[in-house]
């Protein structure tokens, strides 16, 4: 009987502690965009993330998966990891109920249209274990001219 009480106590503690608040990271699909600057031959990935929970995130990392053959050919790789100046993946944290922005620009020789890049880049946010936290396509495209 004592053994059953201990098991029930442990199960109750496990259930109560696992039901606490969790970090919720989401891509801000409305504000994330690809910016095409034909005058400067630049393609910029502008990504905004949101932490909608009341807890800070642990270390997060970002990568961009290119889904278009034209983009892969122009940039020279299928996956672009967000790295620091030493080419080491750059960790970042997002404060509770806050946002975080990531931007990467690439010099391009090819002319890209809105149709060519809309949905052609998928943002992947992952944790230290390499597990996906969130992923979403960038569907908004902005043409920039000077």
Please give the domain boundaries of the chain with CATH numbers for all domains.
Answer: 22-144 (2.60.40.10)
- Report which of 43, 19, 21 is spatially closest to residue 33, judged by C-alpha positions: 43
Backbone angles phi, psi at 5, to 5 degrees: -65, -40
Summarize pLDDT for 111-142 with one digit per residue, the tens. Answer: 999 999 999 999 999 999 999 999 999 999 99
Contact 77, 63 (CB under 8 A): no
Residue 19 is predicted with a pLDDT of 59
pLDDT values of the chain reduced to their tens digit, one per residue, 146 residues: 677 767 766 666 665 555 567 899 999 999 999 999 999 999 999 999 999 999 999 999 999 999 999 999 999 999 999 998 899 999 999 999 999 999 999 999 999 999 999 999 999 999 999 999 999 999 999 998 76
**Strands 141-144 and 33-37: what pairing?**
parallel
Q: DSSP letter at 14?
A: H
Contact 112, 36 (CB under 8 A): yes
Residue 61 is predicted with a pLDDT of 97
Backbone angles phi, psi at 59, to 5 degrees: -60, 130
């Amino acid at each position: 009987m004592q053994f059953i009480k201990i098991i029930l106590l442990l199960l109750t503690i496990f259930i109560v502690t696992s039901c606490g608040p969790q970090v919720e990271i989401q891509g801000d699909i409305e504000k994330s965009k690809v910016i095409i600057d034909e005058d400067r031959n630049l393609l910029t990935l502008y990504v905004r993330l949101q932490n909608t929970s009341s807890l800070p995130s642990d270390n997060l990392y970002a990568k961009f998966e290119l889904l278009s053959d034209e983009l892969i050919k122009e940039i020279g790789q299928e996956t672009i990891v967000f790295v620091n100046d030493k080419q080491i993946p750059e960790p970042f944290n997002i404060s509770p109920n806050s946002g975080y922005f990531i931007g990467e620009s690439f010099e391009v020789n090819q002319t890209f249209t809105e149709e060519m890049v809309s949905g052609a880049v998928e943002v992947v946010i992952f944790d230290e274990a390499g597990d996906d936290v969130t992923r979403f396509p960038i569907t908004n495209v902005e043409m920039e001219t000077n």
